[in-house]
Chains A and B, each alone.
Chain A
Amino acid sequence: MAQRTTVTVTVNGQEYTREVEPRLLLSDFLRHELGLTGTHVGCEHGVCGACTVLLDGQAVRSCLMFAVQAQGHRITTVEGLAPGPDPEQLHPLQRAFWEAHGLQCGFCTPGILMSMVPFLEENPDPSEEAIREALSGNLCRCTGYQKIVEAVKLAATMGTRER
């Protein structure tokens, strides 16, 4: 019988305890155990970036971590960015993506947002080159990146740290 372990994780400020198999990926834990399907899964080998979440405030691939390893840690997913569903409640970065048309199908968007939140906190006034480099770990098959870069620039001017 496969081993099962109890894991307690704080996700978007709320504590969850579940009994899981050690092989359960953090990405699948978020999606299937907690129903937080905003975290997308594209490749499961670290390349596409769709599954990016914050682990104790740092962007990481949730497909390259086991849920049991998140024991006692703090996870933030895209669902944690806005306090509610109203447009006014959106995180400035989300508003910028909306206004600058930074997405088409939206599959890559949660991973891009979760990568850009810490990036903009550390680089409040980034150059276009720095933005493009920071986006290199996130694949988008729709936009050609132009609008994503514009959205990140717009977010920087709006000040992502206003909240």
Chain B
Amino acid sequence: MKPPPFDYYPAESVEQALEILARFGYDAKPLAGGQSLVPAMNFRLAQPAVLVDLNPIADLAYIRPTESGLRIGAMTRQRAVERSSLVAERAPLLHETMPHIAHPQIRNRGTFGGSLAHADPAAELPAVAVALDARLRLQSPRGERWIPAADFFVGLFTTALEPDELLVEVEIPALPRRTGWSFQEVARRHGDFALVGVAATVTLGPGGTMERARLVFLSVGEGPVEARQAQEALAGQSPDPEVLRAAAETAGERDIEPVGDIHASADFRRHLAKVLARRALAQAVARAQGSNRADPRP
């Protein structure tokens, strides 16, 4: 199908984009990579009267090192994140996740910020942003604010963004020392949206016990779902296979409420969640132990 008519405003700067958004309010939508918005318009699921094209804003596309982490501009293409050696080095969990998102032809155009702003419950980046304790910078004519990823995602395709606000930047802190990571998902075909996916990090303490573990699922709820009970059960424990298995079981049974759809039943999703959580925790622990060995300190 064809998209409905709209008025087109290419923005040259964030200020200009904000000014147009403020002028048209709920009638206007920012256009980033268009890889979710344009299909929705072609199906007439979305019918914005005004599109504010962010693509001409060159200074929203960057990956910069901070003291210990990274800052990524909202309009950075997913493909650029995938290929960045800075991301590989400083945010290996993010690096490992990128190829799971759609296909190269989609990632060439789709943006890092667009995926977060879109907040598809089956999307990888929201879950990874929560697992990495990312912070998002939102800008509006009223000023700017920083918001933790965990508070940004508020529901199905819904975020904390106000209609006159833009997501402009994401800050990703470096992983703490002795932290391992893992991203696992099951999809029907390479590039398809995941039936279930999970992002995990495990930080080991001095005695080799787990100081902190994060387990954040996608495709099992209305947004990224943090497995709180499993995380609590892991903290302070030694990372034995039985402990990890029990936590994965808890995550799949108690932390998530998946629903069934044409792609997978709720039960199958629960089953996948347990299997993937166990694999993710095991890999994260192994990596944390590897970095522990390389660490000269006791």
List residues of chain A with CB under 8 Å of any chain B CB.
Answer: 2-3, 5, 21-23, 25, 28, 44-46, 49, 52, 55, 58-61, 63-66, 68-69, 71, 115, 119, 133-134, 136-137
Contact = CB atoms under 8 A, between A and B. Distances in A.
Which one of A5, A64, A69, A119 has the highest number of Cβ atoms from chain B below 10 Å of its Cβ?
A64
Contacts of A136: 103, 189-191
A3 B53 CA distance: 15
Q: Lowest 5 A-B CB distances belong to which pairs? A: A137-B103, A22-B8, A45-B39, A136-B190, A64-B38
Which one of A28, A55, A58, A119 has the highest number of Cβ atoms from chain B below 10 Å of its Cβ?
A58
Nearest to B37: A64
B105 A59 contact: yes
Contact of A64 (B6, B34, B191): B34
Contact of B105 (A23, A52, A66): A52
Contacts of B7: 3, 22
B108 A21 contact: no
Interface string B158-200: 0000000000000000000000000000000111000000000
A3 B5 CA distance: 8
Q: Is the interface of B mostly helix, strand, loop or mixed?
A: loop
B235 interface: no
Given A64-B38, A71-B10, A115-B105, 7 more contacts: A25-B2, A49-B105, A52-B105, A61-B105, A64-B109, A65-B38, A68-B8
Contacts of A28: 2
A115 B5 CA distance: 30
A42 B75 CA distance: 28
Contact of B1 (A44, A59, A69): A44
Contacts of A44: 1-2, 39, 42
A5 B102 CA distance: 32
Nearest to A49: B105
